[in-house]
Structure 1
Amino acid sequence: MSYDDDEVRWEVMTAFVRLGLAQGEKVMLFPDPWLPEAEVLARLDFTGRSTVTARERGQLVLSSMRGLIRPDLRFTPERQIGRLHSETSRAADEGFTGLRAFIDMRWVPDLNADVRVMMHRETHADALFDGRPYSEICAYDRRWFGREVLHAMDRAHPRSLLDRLGTLQSVRGADGSVRFIGDADARARHAFTTALELALSGTCGVRRLTVDLTRLHLLSAGCAGALIGLADQAEDHDLVEIRCDHVQARTLHRLGAGAVRRLTTTEVVRPC
């Protein structure tokens, strides 16, 4: 993830931590090294003291990159990856279902590390995840890292998070398809409809469009209805295929998708 708003960082970090604790995982936090520990704990426990018990039993651990690579003083990918590998095994031995880590990349200027060495680590860390119960978020403050680094890291990671929780993103495929990610709720209806109109306009020549909804967390009735209406009006298309999960398919059919001859729904398993 990348951010230039501290509230975004807190939102994502808190959600990531609480999901991990709920799933019985051990969670390690490597926050911005310039943040006081008391502020991090206060943010995690906002509206209550929900993480106190997890900290007491060792399920939630606040650490730092300096602490992780100790006794080494200089960062090397091998040292960091080796320690995270060991921590994953340790979490399993302690009875947790896995390990997840939230790493704020502000440790790079804190350790005066070479950005190129850090980027090499980010693109050569597959062994941490292969066959192992480990997950990780790397959080880049856009106020500290250059555009080239951010672009390279966005391409290097298998998943990039949205800028904020509850937002909508549309991605066009090379074949003209459109994939929606996030929440297609009432607030996002205009953006959702606009993206569909552009996708339909761009695929007139091939007369077919694939709309992928499988990475949506929410599909409102309003957005679903707009999709059906646009498909019904798309006379220059022979087929509009909607890839969706079971709940989305049920919503679409209840709103009349079955009456649109050029529209078809394909149910698929939601990707992890």
Structure 2
Amino acid sequence: MDRLRRGDHSCTAFTDDEAHWQVLTAYTRTGLAEGEKVLIILDPHDLSDDEVVARMDCGSGRVEAAWDSGQLVLTRSPSFFDFPGGRFDKQRHAEIFEREIELAREEGWSGLRNAGDMGWVLEQGLSDDEVVDYETSVEALFADGRFTAICWYDQRRFSDYLVAAASEVHPLQVLERLDAIDVVRTTKGGRIAGAAELPTREKFTEALRMALERPGSRGPFHFELDLTDLTFMEAHCAWQLISFAGSLPEGSKVVVSCGPLVELSLRGLGVDTVPQLELRVEEFQ
């Protein structure tokens, strides 16, 4: 979630309600702090507006003030979309969002940040393929960078096929938890996204062990590790990476792609003294 930028179209799939609200709260408060208008489209059976504001505000008064001023808008899917004749029309949906984007500009906000519960597609009886087609059709809304969105899918309500397909058609996927990591094998090595810290330390270390530990191997080893979507790395996790790489045979190379914050952690613990490790640092806008 920390890596989302204006103009990003993303989705998230969740099963843990508490974790989901933590992500949504962080997403909302970030948008408010950046001067964006925030539009949240809720399921009719979700928390009440007062409960949502209280949960996100955490006693700070900032979210409540944004709701009072109109910077934060809470709505429900049936009334927001106003399905003509009770039926879904993807062109009408796009036009509704176009009007909201323009309204946010006219009101003086820096952009429109949206988060929406996709449960309405079930109420409308859309097939999985129709949902995927709709998600693909709205990409033009994000072209000028004024619109940012997270579509959320409750995995307890949707088919595994739709959740997977929705993840494929969205340019970005937001992790379910703020303290989660995602480990993926790639053709040249692996990718780890999220945050490497105390709650995820065990999973992060195990992923490194499986990727880099080579007991009994004497030949050089090459591995490319993509950490560009790792937003934070604690010292313990950084040291584990350095230790695993340093134990590889001479001539081995672990190429780590990362951002400046992860680089800072690794350099502070002596990564430059380990010839098996090579950093490629990417600057993010």
- Indicate whether the TM-score tops 0.5: yes
Deviations 1:100-141 (A, max 9, x none): 111011122334444432221112221010113101111111
Question: Which one has more relative contact order, counting CA pairs under 8 Å at least 6 apart?
Answer: 2
Quote how far apart the aligned CAs of 1:232 are: 0.8
Find 1:131's aligned residue among 131, 139, 144.
Answer: 144
Residues 247 and 44 (structure 1 numbering): CA distance in 2 closer, same or farther, change over 3 Å? Answer: closer
Residues 81 and 244 (structure 1 numbering): CA distance in 2 closer, same or farther, change over 3 Å? Answer: same
Match of 1:258 in 2: 272
Match of 1:218 in 2: 232
Gaps of 5+ in 2: 1-11
Residues 55-204 of structure 1 aligned to structure 2 (within 5 Å): 55-70=67-82, 72=84, 73-175=86-188, 177-200=189-212
Match of 2:6 in 1: none
Task: Check the 8 A contact 1:240/1:264 in 2, yes or no.
Answer: yes
Quote how far apart the aligned CAs of 1:155 are: 1.2
Q: Which range is displaced more, 161-170 or 194-203?
A: 194-203
RMSD: 2.3
3-state SS in 2 of match to 1:51: helix
Task: Check the 8 A contact 2:15/2:156 in 1, yes or no.
Answer: yes
3-state SS in 2 of match to 1:97: coil
Structure 1 distance, partners of 2:83, 2:263, is 55
Residues 20 and 200 (structure 1 numbering): CA distance in 2 closer, same or farther, change over 3 Å? Answer: same
Structure 2 distance, partners of 1:113, 1:233, is 54
Deviations 1:57-114 (A, max 9, x none): 2111112232233362322111111110121111111110000111011122334444
Task: Check the 8 A contact 1:77/1:118 in 2, yes or no.
Answer: no
Structure 1 distance, partners of 2:126, 2:271, is 55
Task: Check the 8 A contact 1:33/1:106 in 2, yes or no.
Answer: no
Q: Which range is displaced more, 90-99 or 182-191?
A: 182-191
Quote how far apart the aligned CAs of 1:47 are: 3.0
Residues 196 and 204 (structure 1 numbering): CA distance in 2 closer, same or farther, change over 3 Å? Answer: farther
Q: TM-score, normalised by structure 1?
A: 0.90
Structure 2 distance, partners of 1:206, 1:128, is 48
Find 1:18's aligned residue among 18, 23, 29.
Answer: 29
Residues 87 and 182 (structure 1 numbering): CA distance in 2 closer, same or farther, change over 3 Å? Answer: same
3-state SS in 2 of match to 1:63: strand
Residues 187 and 70 (structure 1 numbering): CA distance in 2 closer, same or farther, change over 3 Å? Answer: closer
Deviations 1:138-186 (A, max 9, x none): 11111111111111111111111212111222222122x2221111113
Q: Which range is displaced more, 81-90 or 206-215?
A: 206-215
Structure 1 distance, partners of 2:240, 2:103, is 50
3-state SS in 1 of match to 2:249: coil
1:243 aligns with 2:257: yes
Q: What is the one-letter code of the residue matched to 1:256?
A: G
Residues 22-41 of structure 1 aligned to structure 2 (within 5 Å): 22-35=33-46, 36-41=48-53
Task: Check the 8 A contact 1:33/1:64 in 2, yes or no.
Answer: yes
Q: What is the one-letter code of the residue matched to 1:158?
A: P
Residues 46-61 of structure 1 aligned to structure 2 (within 5 Å): 46-61=58-73
Residues 71 and 244 (structure 1 numbering): CA distance in 2 closer, same or farther, change over 3 Å? Answer: closer
Residues 250 and 42 (structure 1 numbering): CA distance in 2 closer, same or farther, change over 3 Å? Answer: closer
Gaps of 5+ in 1: none
Q: TM-score, normalised by structure 2?
A: 0.86
Structure 1 distance, partners of 2:251, 2:236, is 23
Match of 1:269 in 2: 283
